Every structure is written in C-alpha cells, then in structure tokens.
Structure 1
Amino acid sequence: MPRKLLKFLILFDNTSLLYFPGQFLSGRVLIELQDDTPALGLHFHVVGEGVVRVRTPRQERVYDRENYIDFRMRLLGEPGQGPSVLSPGIHSFPFKLGLPLGLPSTFLGKHGWVQYYCKTALKEPNGLTHKNQQVFIVMNPIDLNLEPSILSQAFRCEIEHRLGVSCVSSGPVVCQVTLDRGGYVPGESIGISASVHNRSNVTVKSTKAALTETIQYMARGKVVQSERRELACLMRGKIRPGESDEWTNEQLYVPPLPPTNLRGCHLIKIQYDVYFIIEPKSLEKEVKLQLPIMMATYPLRSEGNGNSYKAGTHYPSTLPIFRPWLEDKPVID
C-alpha cells in the first residue's frame, strides 16, 4: 500500500530558529500528499516550559514545572464539522504568533531545562494521527548598558588571613583583588589585578583566579540540586615568607555562556563568580575571595560613541545552549 503522507514539516520563516521575546514566531506547516486524504483537522500547539527533574540520594524523584507559552490553534477544520479532503500535492498552512515579553532564555542543564517548541497533529477520520515537532530558541538579552552603572566600574575585594601556628612571629597573608568591572559578555576577557603579601612563616604554594558557574535547581520553592564548575583559570607560582606577588591586568577569557540568572524562570538560577584562591604549602585550608559578576548578552559601548561596542564584541546571533563541560565533574567546595 503506497504511503499517502510524503512530507509533514514545521518550517519557520527565521531559519536560524533564534527569537527574542516580543518578536513574531511565524512560518508554515507543510504537508505533501500522494493521494486524496480526508482530514478532521490540523492542530498547532506552541509550548514554552521550564522543568526541573532531580533524583535524590534516596532515589526519590523530585519534579517541578512552569509554563511560559501554551498557545493552541487550528490550521484546518472546525470543531463539529466533517472532514475536509486534501488533494494530492503540497499544502501550506501559515501561522503567526507574537512571543510574550519576559520569556526566559532557552537553557539545557543536567537536572533541568527551559525549552520552546511547536507541535502539530494531522487527524484523519479513521483515527490515524500524524504528528511532528520543531524546537526553536529564545534569547532574553541582558544589555549591560541598561544595567546599574556600577557594573561598568572596577571593584575590589581584600582579605587578611593568618597562616601557620599562631605566634607572635607569624604575620598574616594580605591579599587585595580588583576586577576591571562587574559585567561581561562571552568572548570578552576579565581583567584581574591583585597584590599578595606573604607576611606569614608559611610558603604560599600557588595563587589562582578561576571563573565559576553555579547552577541551582529549585522545586516546590526549595533548592533541590546545586552544582558548581570551573570554566577558566589563571595560576601563578609560590610566594615564600616575606615575599609578595603582583597581578597586573591579567586576562581571564569568558567562554560561551548563558546569561546570569534565567530572568523569568523561577526554577533554575545561574550565578557566575571569579574566585581568587591562595593555596598554602601546608595542610591548611586554602583561602578564597569570591567576586560575583554578571554575564550579559550585549557588551558595554565604547566611551564617547553611543553606537559603538568595544572591539571583539558584537550582537549575538546564537545562544550557547550545549556546553561541553556539562559532563565534567563539578567543582567541590
């Protein structure tokens, strides 16, 4: 028996599949038939959802979900009417939908996701239903130029910590770290300056600056899973007692990353930090300074030119969804 349905596709007008909140999602459902085919209806469904799915150490499943889009329409047929007969050949059924403002960006994680997709179903009177599905990507941009101006300014963190056996002769390790600003976009580099003065009687084995990503998965109002991983780092060598080390605008590269927090999503939170870590050459615990930063989508404009962005940055045309380090072992505090 020959196959009646030759093609059943969802085609978007925007072939990149990347959309911003407030834009129109438009395209067509394309059907190619070999024979006359009766159809009760062609149903179209647009879905946007956030899902968290976690298995606890006791093997209990924790699940939560929230909807961002749930829009249904009929592209063919009306309720209560008889079937329509579609002739052999190609049939095209257009659709157009305005995406709501405030949609969170698409995100895929180990324990949860934010996904957007369209589903369509062609129903025949004999009970047979043909189905298809197509994912699209939403990016809710964060423009650093619209955020608080403090994110464009350098900020500093300092600590004084005593190493070794507590005695009069052993002083502290004094550390001061400065980032060139508080907000970045993927492809830029974080400028790190630091001064470390070792006034203790313990050798500092190494100093390190690390960019980390922390993801929290929420369900029923509580954090049910958290993971932190190191994304990039810079390291320097030992500092003996009485010596110092200076970092001068060292550059820490920012890889492709989703923006800080998924604005509009209440189930998944993303945070980025720069940690400056001092590791003593002893059994003592390392000393950490935590500097939170914002990861945005649009970079700061160059000073004196409101329409120009800093060299090496550009408007995004893709959203980093699949991250190769997802399967890496998370960083343990």
Structure 2
Amino acid sequence: MSSLREFSIRVDNSTAVYSPGDTITGEVFVDLNEAQTCRGISLRFKGKAKVKWVENRHSSNNRRTYLAEENYFGTEVYVVGASHGEIQLVGGQHIFPFTFTLPLNIPNSFTHEYGDVVYSIKAVMDIAWALDPETCLTLTVYSPFDLNQAPSHAIEDELHEEYCWCVLPCVSEGFMEAQIYIPKSSCAVGDQLDVFIEIDMNSPSVDIFGIELRLKQILEFHADGRTKTQSETVERSTNNGPFERNTRINLRLQVPSVLHSGLQHCNLINIMYHLGIKFLVSDCHCDTKKYYAIMIGAKSTVPTEEQARPIPPASAPSDLEIMGIPSIPLVPIPGMIGDSTAISETLNPPPYASAPPIGFQIPNPSAPVDPTVATMPPPSYESVMAEEVKK
C-alpha cells in the first residue's frame, strides 16, 4: 500500500524479554502519506508450542509427518475501528497505546529444528477487498525452573568392570572398582559440579589414562503418541592420567548457560540433563561409561530460615552508660547491615497490590491533580502538639 510509510509495534521494554505475569506496555505506530480508509487496526496476542518432524517408514516413499500444537493464550482486540464498518485515518503519524498481561503458567521461549515455543504480537490493518498490511513482534518469555521444586540429593554409586585379554577373551586381565560420589543432583547455571572418584585398579596390564565428564542435554518432542529424541553434549571436562592403581580424584565441571530442566508447563517438549563419567582405558579394552540425571534451574530468591530469623532485641546498657557517660549513637545507613528498618522492610515487605487481570487492557488517563491539595502546606509543630494535648 503506497500510502503507508511505516507500520510497527513498539514496546517499552527494549529487550522484549518478559516473565510470566508481566504486563507488556507498548504502542502501534502508523505513518501515512495520505488518508487511508480501513475497518480498523487489530492486535493479536498469541502464545503456543508446536512440534513437527518427518519419519521414513520401511522405505523413502512411505513417509509420515508427526505434528502437535499446544496453545497458551490467543487474544485479538481492535485498537481502533472494528471488524465491521469503515473509518478513515488521516495522513500523518498515529499512535495507539496498549497493555497486555501475560498468564502465569506459561513455558519458557524455545526454538529448535523439531519444535518451538513462540510468543508474538501481530498488528493487522483491516482493509476491505485488499491485502491487509501487517507487522509482527516476537517476544521472549523467561520462565525459570525453581530448584526448590526439585530438592537436591547426593548421588553415590559403585562400578565394577572386568577386563579380558584381547587375543583370548576367556583369559582375565583383572578388574577395576570405582566409588563415585556426587554431592548434589541439582544446580544452577554457572555452578560447579563436583565429582569424587575413588579408584581401585586390580589389573597389572590395564591402565586408566583419562577420566572425562560430559554434561549431555536430551530433548524430547511428543506428537501422535510418538517421541522424537535429540541429544548433544553441552559441556565437557577431561582429567588426563595416567593414574595410580589406588587413588582418589576430584573432578569439576561448570554448568554452562543452558535452558532449564523440564520446560515446565509445556506438554509437547521436555528438556533433561545427564552427567556422564567416562573412564578411558588402554589397549583394546572398551571404555566404561555411566550417566546420572541432573536437574538445572535457577536459585530461589526466597529467604532461608537463617535469613528470616527475627532481629534480636537491643543489648543491655554498657558500663559507661551506667556510670553516666553516654555512648556515641551509631547512625545506621539505609540498606546496610545494622539498619533494622531496612532489614525489617526486606524480610517483611509491604503487601503487594492485587495482580492485574490477564489479557488486553486500554490504558486509563492519569487522574487530574487537585491544585488545592498540591499546594496545601504541611501542619505546623504547634498544631500537632495541640492535637496531642486534646487527646
């Protein structure tokens, strides 16, 4: 359409990253060369998940497509005009503000070859008997997985591996025993995963020349009763040997910036993580591998029991105060340790206002300011004391 110079969606958040329950505030911007007749301009808010993949069955000519979708919300509202009738927008610039509150139980944004979770805002100019101009803005929703939902526990395991002679498999070359201890089964992005291994090698001819840690991400896509699985190693750490026959080793692996476990509130896509331990052995013997499930999420911001402990009462007067020598008062700095007011407000915040309703809202104009109230002077000290005497 030649009369349309610009048609865009702008949001106040420059990164367009939101959390569940956040309110999106923005505007639809229209710049016209000349007057344009249309039914109106609509906004479509949508959040959905979709998975799709194709499999060959028995032959390349027999292919089946697996497809599934899951909708989280879908709302369409006209910011100007309606679905019937016509209006005329004069030439020049037009701004139509809007707000939209995201639901609480929605999954994190996700993109992959076989599936995605997408949130978007689309503006459409509805023109009768013509191609409707439209513009779209993709939003990113960050929905962290709270590790309090998956209490961590220690992982303890024992390995026993027999080794045989490569030429005569019936001839034993001894065995290896290993005690594995992982202090925690859940961690946050950026944390260190510690692995403690105690090795007892009872083989004179087999050596362990390396131990490798691997953090593997496993993705599951569900559609039509079938599951498509994809996995990749997102982080690894290797400790090169050779090691002594009887030794204790401490291995570490840092958790990289990855999506959190589970992709909660989504029934079509699942994210899992496995920590793999691989013993690299000499000669023709097979390496020993073992995997353990690990949960990755976000650290909770809720104060612990130790942090929420009430502030102790003031201490007894010092010896100087008893002798009549006043002590120098310490003036607390707001926000620092020792400021009881700041601590109390942090541990006991004021009640929050009621959450806004989910969906589209038209912003209300600000209430006018009453000049008599705005210019009214504060009460004097004498008037306040007089009121106290009356009481």
Shared fold (TM-score greater than 0.5)? yes
Secondary structure of the residue aligned to 1:60 is strand
Normalising by structure 1, we get a TM-score of: 0.81
Distance 1:306 1:287 in 2: 47
Normalising by structure 2, we get a TM-score of: 0.70
The amino acid across from 2:80 in the alignment is L
Change (3 A) 1:158 1:186: same
Question: In the alignment, what sits opposite 2:55?
Answer: 56
Secondary structure of the residue aligned to 2:133 is strand
Residues 260-269 or 201-210, more deviating: 201-210
Q: Count matched residues.
A: 299
Change (3 A) 1:23 1:269: same
Distance 1:104 1:35 in 2: 43
Distance 2:303 2:291 in 1: 28
- Of 92, 96, 111 in structure 2, the residue corresponding to residue 93 of structure 1 is 96
| Map 1:113-192 → 2, pairs under 5 A | 113-144=116-147, 146-149=148-151, 151=152, 153-165=153-165, 170-192=173-195
Question: In the alignment, what sits opposite 1:269?
Answer: 270
Please list the CA deviations of residues 37-87 of structure 1 after superposition, one character each: whole Å capped at 9, or x if unmatched.
11212111111111112122445332221111211111121233x211111
Aligned partners of 1:276 and 1:290 also within 8 Å = yes
Distance 2:201 2:106 in 1: 49
Aligned-residue offset at 1:132: 0.7
Question: In the alignment, what sits opposite 1:46?
Answer: 45
Distance 1:306 1:274 in 2: 34
The amino acid across from 2:156 in the alignment is R
Question: In the alignment, what sits opposite 1:111?
Answer: 114
Unaligned runs of 5+ in 2: 310-391
Change (3 A) 1:301 1:176: farther
Question: In the alignment, what sits opposite 2:315?
Answer: none
Unaligned runs of 5+ in 1: 308-333
Aligned-residue offset at 1:294: 0.8
Aligned-residue offset at 1:196: 2.1
Secondary structure of the residue aligned to 1:211 is strand
Distance 1:205 1:247 in 2: 13
Structure 2 residue 215 is the aligned partner of structure 1 residue 215: no
Distance 1:188 1:208 in 2: 18
The structure richer in helix per residue is: 2
Larger Rg belongs to: 2
Question: In the alignment, what sits opposite 1:283?
Answer: 284
Aligned partners of 2:191 and 2:255 also within 8 Å = yes
Please, what is the CA RMSD of the aligned residues?
2.5
| Map 1:218-237 → 2, pairs under 5 A | 218-223=222-227, 225-237=228-240
Change (3 A) 1:269 1:280: same
The amino acid across from 2:71 in the alignment is N
